[in-house]
Structure 1
Amino acid sequence: MQFNTRYSTLSPKLYHHQLPSPLKGAKAGHFNAALAEQLEWSDKDKAQWVEICSGQKTFEEFEPLAMVYAGHQFGQWAGQLGDGRGLLIAQILNKQGQTIDLHLKGAGSTPYSRMGDGRAVLRSVVREYLAGHALNSLGVASSNAVGFTSSEQGVQREKLELGAMMLRTSDCHIRLGHFEWINQYQGDLLPEFTQKCIEWHYPECLDTEQPILAFATQVIQRTAVMISHWQLVGFAHGVMNTDNLNITGSTLDFGPYGFMERFRPNWINNHSDYQGRYTYQQQPSIGHWNLWQWLNNLVPLCPANYDKEQWKDDLAQCLEHYEPTFLEHYKMGLSQKMGLPSFHKDSFDCAMIFLRILQSEQLDYTLSFIRLQNHEYEAIKDDCLDRRAFEGFLAQYESIREHQDIITLDAEMEKANPHYILRNHMAQKAIELAERNDFSEVERLFTLLSQPYLKQPELETTEDLGPLPSDVPEVMVSCSS
């Protein structure tokens, strides 16, 4: 590995150095060999992956640390938070020369654990491991993981569960909540911290007239793009607190996430979300709200020769990039999923009609787009109670596609519509087997989700292709992990 130790060059007020606390009886769960290769792990590192991913081995080049940050949780100020069960154990360069964080989750209690035990359970580790892999394979910016380990050590949650650890990777673990903590508790650190964030993640902004405004605009736009991609693949994060969004617009901190099955935009996939704040349909507006909170923490960075009220107005102007960026990418992506030309004036309206049919008929989001892609119009209509509504949509749809380059449009559809998403019941089956020390289903899903846009009949099962029957209870997920 090539190390780029930089976070520990910041003020020690921003972190706490400590070693991980290994679990008893650590054993192999699953190893992401392709990612380890991308990160240029040596043969020795690969041979010791269980030790690395279970906290038994650290690196001389980097002293592990827990970050401190703050945040708004479910819309309320939560005060100081931080890495309560995770440690940044290294920062290394990948094959492209990009700095990647190695973050060990479940590594034991830290000063920021807030009465927690600092552990993670196998159930949540398997879910996050598979979800990061799934999103990356779908082309959605996200954390990933090199591997995870199980153990013989029990961890108490609602019941006694197996403890586990995961070595997560991300291009950035600096969250919106870092700025909230600094602004609230250590305001003198804000200028240098912001400068480092720009140097490390947005160096092109240094050449602009106002680097901080350029930086804010870039963070806002990347976040908008990420959320548009979530919407397009039907992903609901579940806990979009300000401490769970980072500054590079890559998905972070999976808890009670869910991939949309039957199209219900108001579906609450986190049963701890009693008000439905973080439903699928709320994600774009919550992203906007979080970024507004974040921008307030940049107000103290007003340059000396700048009018403060004008500075506030200019920061607010940065946020005006959010909605058009989101809509541009969402509309473009939705047209691609539909096989419609993005330039046609009626394409988006036609797509909205299709989504309303999916919603009213409670049809599966992913499967319905695959059927549309395969021109299986009768199969969709047969699942509709209001067949005339679908016939009306189909007439408009075919009218727009008439005289277009259908071959190109259909080829674009194949790039935009996955055959496979990580449905909750798929993950649950893998978890139940893993808890019996059988990781074969984790391996099968990992392989299947590696190429979600490619049909894999030799590997798939019937349960991978659609929701469970309506009379089977949904798999419910909470924040407990």
Structure 2
Amino acid sequence: MILNARYPQLNPKLYHQQAPMPLQGAKAGHFNGALADSLQWSEAEKDNWVALCSGQQTVEGFEPLAMVYAGHQFGQWAGQLGDGRGLLIAQVKSKTGATIDLHLKGAGKTPYSRMGDGRAVLRSVIREYLAGHALNGLGIASSNAVGFTSSTQTVQRERAEFGAMLLRTADSHIRLGHFEWINQYAPEQLTDFTQKCIEWHFPECLNAEQPVLAFAQQVISRTAIMIADWQLVGFAHGVMNTDNLNITGSTLDFGPFGFMERFRPNWINNHSDAQGRYSFQNQPSIGHWNLWIWLNNLIPLAKAEGKEQFKQDLAAALEQYEPTFLTHYQQGLNQKMGLPQDHAESFDCAMQFLRILQSEQLDYTQSFLRLQQQQYQQLRDDCLDTHQFDQFLTQYELIRAHQDTNALQQIMQQHNPRYILRNHMAQRAIEAAEQDDFSEVDRLFQLLATPFSQHPLERAEDLAPLASDQAEVAVSCSS
């Protein structure tokens, strides 16, 4: 590994340095060798991955640290939060020259653990490991993981479960909540902290007339695009608190996430979210709300005589969130549908298709795949209201008439995955892993690496939701 230790350059108020606390009986779970290669791990480091992914060994030249931050959780100010069970154990250079965080999850108590035990359980570690891998395979900005380890040590949740650790990677673990903590508890650090964020993650903004405003515009744009990408593949994050969104617009913190199966815009995948604040359809508006909270924490950076103008500039920047989201979403939906971007009726036709999926409760991923494969009769046979489907198909074929349909089909193939991480798929892998069998984790890992093409390891149950008489897997924040 080639170190680029940046975060320890910040004021020590912003973190606490400590060693990880290994679990008893650590053992190999799964290793992402391709990711380790991209991070320039040596052969010796790859051979020793279990020790690095279980906290038994740290990276020479970097003292592990827990970050402190704050946040709004379910819309309410939650005060000081922080890395309660994770440690930044290194920052390394990738083959492309990017600086990547290595973050060990489940590494033990920190000063920010509050009432937690600082641990993670095998169930949640496997879900996060596969989810980050799945989103990366889908081309969506996200954290990833080099590997995870299990152990013989139990951790108490609703029941006793095996403890585990995950070595997560991300382009940044700096959250919107970092700015909230600084403004509340260490306002004198705001200028230097913001400057470092710009230097590290948005250096192109340094040459702008107003670097902080340019930084804000970048964060807003990237967040809008990330959430549009979520909506396009049916991904629901589940807990979009301000401390769970980072400044680079890459997906972070997989708790009660889920990939939508039957198309229900009001789907709540977190059974702890009684009010549905973080339902699938609310994600775009919650992203906007979180950014509004964050932008208020940049206002103190303005000079006194220019504060009102700076507020207006930030408000104008936030106004670009919605059109950025809609433009990206509309383009992506047209691509999934195989419809031309320049046709006036393309988006309306795409929305009609979504209305059919909603009213008929059809599988989101499989329905787009059938459309791509021109299995129109199969789609029609699944509809109770065949007249509605016939109207859609007439409009769809009229729009595609006289178009280069071969080119449109290629675009569809690139934007409609065959595989998503369905909850019941993850659950089977978890149940096997709890019996020390990680073969199902490995099978899903291979499928999700190439989600747009058929894999020889495919099983029929990978392609559809559970039958209507089978209960869906309930996912909570417990991990």
Q: TM-score, normalised by structure 1?
A: 0.99
Shift of 1:455: 1.3
Shift of 1:249: 0.2
Shift of 1:229: 0.4
Give the Cα separation in 2 of the matches to 1:227 and 1:325: 11
Moved over 3 A (4+): none
Describe the SS at the equivalent of 1:152: coil
Match of 1:95 in 2: 95
Letter in 1 for 2:79: G
Match of 2:404 in 1: 405
Shift of 1:60: 2.0
What whole-Å deviation, never above 9, does each CA across 1:371-399 have from its counterpart, x for those lacking one? 00000000000000001100000000000
Give the Cα separation in 2 of the matches to 1:390 and 1:115: 53
Match of 2:226 in 1: 226
Give the Cα separation in 1 of the matches to 2:208 and 2:134: 36
Give the Cα separation in 1 of the matches to 2:22 and 2:259: 32
Match of 1:389 in 2: 388
Give the Cα separation in 1 of the matches to 2:454 and 2:394: 28
Task: Please state if 1:309 is matched with 2:317.
Answer: no
Give the Cα separation in 1 of the matches to 2:420 and 2:84: 30
What whole-Å deviation, never above 9, does each CA across 1:242-278 have from its counterpart, x for those lacking one? 0000000000000000001000011110000010011
Match of 2:149 in 1: 149
Match of 1:436 in 2: 435
Describe the SS at the equivalent of 1:357: helix
Match of 1:341 in 2: 340
Describe the SS at the equivalent of 2:165: strand
Match of 2:177 in 1: 177
Match of 1:120 in 2: 120
Describe the SS at the equivalent of 1:307: helix
Task: Please state if 1:71 is matched with 2:74.
Answer: no
Match of 2:466 in 1: 468
Describe the SS at the equivalent of 1:167: strand
Match of 1:323 in 2: 322
Match of 1:375 in 2: 374
Shift of 1:310: 1.3
Shift of 1:70: 0.2
Give the Cα separation in 1 of the matches to 2:98 and 2:307: 36
Match of 2:457 in 1: 459
**Contiguous gaps of at least 5 residues in structure 2:** none
Shift of 1:303: 3.0
What whole-Å deviation, never above 9, does each CA across 1:362-421 have from its counterpart, x for those lacking one? 000000000000000000000000011000000000000011110100000000000000
Letter in 1 for 2:57: K
Question: 1:180-199, aligned counterparts within 5 Å?
Answer: 180-199=180-199
Match of 1:158 in 2: 158
Give the Cα separation in 2 of the matches to 1:273 and 1:460: 33
Letter in 2 for 1:377: Y
Describe the SS at the equivalent of 1:168: strand
Give the Cα separation in 2 of the matches to 1:312 and 1:80: 26
**Contiguous gaps of at least 5 residues in structure 1:** none
Letter in 1 for 2:338: G
Give the Cα separation in 1 of the matches to 2:364 and 2:303: 48
Give the Cα separation in 2 of the matches to 1:132 and 1:272: 22
Identity percentage of aligned residues: 73
Task: Please state if 1:297 is matched with 2:297.
Answer: yes
Give the Cα separation in 2 of the matches to 1:163 and 1:314: 48
What whole-Å deviation, never above 9, does each CA across 1:418-454 have from its counterpart, x for those lacking one? 0000000000000000000000000000001000001
Give the Cα separation in 2 of the matches to 1:440 and 1:303: 59
Shift of 1:345: 0.6
Give the Cα separation in 1 of the matches to 2:85 and 2:222: 27
Match of 2:8 in 1: 8
Letter in 1 for 2:448: L
Match of 1:419 in 2: 418
Shift of 1:320: 1.1
Letter in 2 for 1:135: L
Letter in 2 for 1:455: Q
Give the Cα separation in 2 of the matches to 1:30 and 1:87: 20
Q: TM-score, normalised by structure 2?
A: 1.00
Give the Cα separation in 1 of the matches to 2:261 and 2:458: 17
Letter in 1 for 2:441: V
Describe the SS at the equivalent of 2:163: strand
Number of residue-to-residue matches in the alignment:
479
Question: 1:129-278, aligned counterparts within 5 Å?
Answer: 129-278=129-278
Letter in 2 for 1:355: L
Match of 1:350 in 2: 349
Shift of 1:347: 0.5
Letter in 1 for 2:469: D
Describe the SS at the equivalent of 1:2: coil
Describe the SS at the equivalent of 2:152: coil
Give the Cα separation in 1 of the matches to 2:420 and 2:310: 44
